[in-house]
Amino acid sequence: MSYSVYLTIDTGNPNGQEMICDFNHTSNCSTMFQEALGVSIRMLDGCLAEDLLGILKKAVEDISDPRRHDHYAVMNPKNGWGSVESAKAFLTEIYHACLMHPKCTVEVSC
């Protein structure tokens, strides 16, 4: 299982929302995401990107802090699918996308 995070925007197209970007990561790192974000990544679903900038910035700073590496490292999945580094990259990509597209809606599917 994995998390797919999409940024979409309503362009008025009769076919619905237009996808701006999408990201995917194994759900094996859900504990890391929960710890960094302070909420389940699922709670981001339906939010406006600009409203998530604060929480995402804090999450990226926390998971990137060298003093917190060991804290997150113990959450590395035993099966090797995902890691602190891959979780950090995933959150960073989402944060940067939200910075670039603040008027988009964030959608999360599992």
Looking at residue 51, what is its pLDDT? 98
Q: What is the number of domains present in the chain? A: 1
Looking at residue 17, what is its pLDDT? 85
Looking at residue 33, what is its pLDDT? 97
Which residues, in sequence order, are bridge partners of residue 12? none
Q: What is the strand order of the sheet 18-26 is part of?
A: 18-26, 2-9, 105-109
Per-block average pLDDT, block size 10, for the chain (110 residues)? 94 86 96 97 97 98 97 96 97 98 96
Residues of the domain holding 42: 2-109
